[in-house]
Structure formats: structure tokens, C-alpha cells
Amino acid sequence: MKKLISLLFAFLFYIILFPFTALILILGPIITVSDLSNVFKYEVPKLAFGLPALVLLGFILFLSMKVSSLKWIYKKFPVLLPFLQMGYLSFLALQIGLEFANLWADNNAYPKGVAIVLALLSFVVGRIFLSYWYYKYPISYKIHK
């Protein structure tokens, strides 16, 4: 019975949750860059993805890495895990930058130049973190582990 529940959970996870998560993590950064440019171009805030949704995406990725019945996909496609991690962290950094841009566009909390610098800085800090992470734990190490 426990094996059946585990298989049912894995089936629902890979049919519903995981494809949706992967699609968001692939298209999310592209859409967020477009939203950022529109915020600065039209000076109107755009709806950000939201912290609870980002935490949920991170939790789904965590489950897919740690639960034994779910991590088979990373053994079959070993580059998928680093790709999704990069997508998640890039999406997170861009969403933080969009929040800075929205604060400027909605509340005029600071000048436009400061908002642009903060948005760029959030993305650069995210990319520096990714560089450090993959310097410390190279992708080749993860693939052959």
C-alpha cells in the first residue's frame, strides 16, 4: 500500500507539479526581464510573482531532489538539476529587482536611476552567488556524483 501511494504521488508530481514548475522556471526570467523594461519604460508597476509562490517553487525543487521516488529524473537527465537551479535563482534575483522597480513606479520611493541600479544590482548579486555556487560545487561534480 505504501508503495502504491508513493507511486501515485510520484505520478501526480511529474504530471502536474514538475512540468508546471519547470515551465515557470524557464519562462519566468524571460518574462520578468520584459516586465522590468516595461516598468521603466511606462513608469507603471507590474505584478510580481510573489514571495510565497517563489518559496513554493523552491519547495517543489527541493522535493524533487530529496525524495527518492522523485529524483530519478535527475539521473536520467543529469543536466536538468543545475539548469533548474540556475533558472530558480535567476528568477528570484529578477523578481527582487522587479520589486525595487515597482517600489519606484508605485510609490516614488526613490529616483528612477536608483531603481535601475537596485534592479541591476539584485540581478548581479544573484549571478555572483551562482558563480560562487558553481565554483564551489561544479556541475561536472553533480553529474558524475
| Boundaries of every domain in the chain | 2-144
Pull the grid cell for residue 24: 515557470
Q: What is the pLDDT of residues 10-63, one digit of tens each?
A: 788 888 889 999 999 999 999 999 999 999 999 999 988 888 999 999 999 998
Q: What is the pLDDT of residues 87-115, one digit of tens each?
A: 999 999 999 999 999 999 999 889 999 99
Q: What is the pLDDT of residues 66-89, one digit of tens each?
A: 888 788 888 888 889 899 999 999
Cα-based angle 89, 99, 129 (whole degrees, multiple of 5): 25
pLDDT at 145 over 60: no
pTM beyond 0.75: the answer is yes
For residue 87, what are the CA distances in angstroms to 9, 25, 32, 42, 92?
25, 5, 12, 27, 8
